[in-house]
Amino acid sequence: MRDLVTALEETAATVNKLGTLSAPDVQVHDVSKLLRSDDAPTLDASLKEHQEDTKSLRQAIAAYPTLSQALSRQGLSVENVVAARINSPGSITIFTR
């Protein structure tokens, strides 16, 4: 849960860093269970606080074929994206619901 909250807090910085990725390793994590857990109120508050940044992140992911294709392979779209975290210059984790 902490990783997701941290990723939400850093969404604006992540959007800016997406352009530095070249052929990243993409991991997609479904956080739906967290959004229905006892921690849901904390996550909901963080999601609302970073709502505009999340919209920007979704737009950036949609414009990045490698990332949007990784979502598509899992049957997801950018509308499922909650947050993302760049793990290293060659790796990104996308959190979805």
pLDDT tens-digit series, residues 13-61: 999 998 788 878 999 999 988 878 887 888 888 888 889 999 999 999 9
Domain that holds residue 6: 2-96
From edge to edge, which strands make up the β-sheet containing 91-96? 25-30, 91-96, 81-88
pLDDT of residue 92: 94
Q: Model-level pTM?
A: 0.87
End-to-end CA distance of the chain: 13
Contact between 8 and 46 under an 8 Å Cβ cutoff? The reply is yes
Contact between 81 and 10 under an 8 Å Cβ cutoff? The reply is no
Q: How many domains does the chain have?
A: 1
Q: What is the DSSP string of 6-21?
A: HHHHTHHHHHHHGGG-
pLDDT at 89 over 80: no
pLDDT of residue 81: 96
Q: What are phi and psi of 45, to 5 degrees?
A: -65, -40
Residue 90 binned pLDDT confidence (cut-offs 50, 70, 90): confident
Residue with tokens 């994206």: 81
How much is the average pLDDT of 58-65?
94
> Measured at the alpha carbon of residue 37, what is the angle toward residues 88 and 1, in degrees to the nearest 5?
20
